[in-house]
Amino acid sequence: MGRVVNILVGGPEHLVPYTDFARLDGLWIGVDLGATRLIDHQIIPDIAVGDFDSSDDQQFKRVKELVSDVRFYPPEIKTEDTDTQLAIRIALELGADQIRLYGATGGRLDQYLANLYTVLMPQYRPALAKLAMIDRGNHITWYEPGTYQINRLPEMRYLAFVNLTPVTGLTLPDEKYQLHDYNATFPISWSSNEFVGNQAHFSFETGVMMVIQSRD
């Protein structure tokens, strides 16, 4: 599996699968309010990062007391990177082979979209094949051209394919709804597809694809 880094940001709590956290391996990064939420769930993050504008003074004080590595980026000196992107950058610097991102869905749509599109930015492209964005009802991953096998996750019924860039040669050979050598010049969400069995395959020749396993 290699080195795993888990990241919790401050999105809507009802979407975060906290019950799964105790069994996860790897390091933890808490982003802004996400650091407090990890502490509230008896997980002391290895690193806390952000401008902490979503944390009140008492929460930030508690984080500084309990977390040994706090990386504070005041808004007035922070780069164009979001707090979530800063955490992904740190995960890459730590040599992560797998990055699990929680608390990054729901809430403000602009922030949600920023998270979904981060892997298209040249400086974050190295995270593309390593990143998974996870909430209670969705598991999102990204792919560069190639041929892939997807294993169905427990309780996930639906399977969606979304090209974030123009794509060529998209083939879905063994899903419920199939495509063969399809080209798209603009983003399309092929949603509400389904597995046939516990595995599915897909391939494409150019572009960037996002794959979503989901449930109602």
Longest Cα–Cα distance in the chain: 56
- How far, in Å, CA of 85 to CA of 31, rounded? 10
| Residue whose entry in the numeric block shows the structure tokens 């401008």 | 51
Half-sphere exposure of 164 (CA within 13 A, CB side): 21
Quote the radius of gyration of the chain (alpha carbons, Å).
Answer: 18
For 142-214, CATH number out of 3.40.50.10240, 1.20.120.530, 1.20.1250.20, 3.90.226.10 equals 3.40.50.10240
Does the pTM exceed 0.85?
yes
CATH fold of 4-136 reads: Rossmann fold (3.40.50)
Q: Where are the domains of the chain?
A: 4-136, 142-214
pLDDT tens track for 74-123: 876 656 789 999 999 999 999 999 999 999 999 889 989 999 999 999 99
Contact 10, 31 (CB under 8 A): yes
pLDDT tens track for 177-213: 999 999 999 999 999 999 999 999 999 999 999 999 9
Domains 4-136 and 142-214 agree in fold: yes
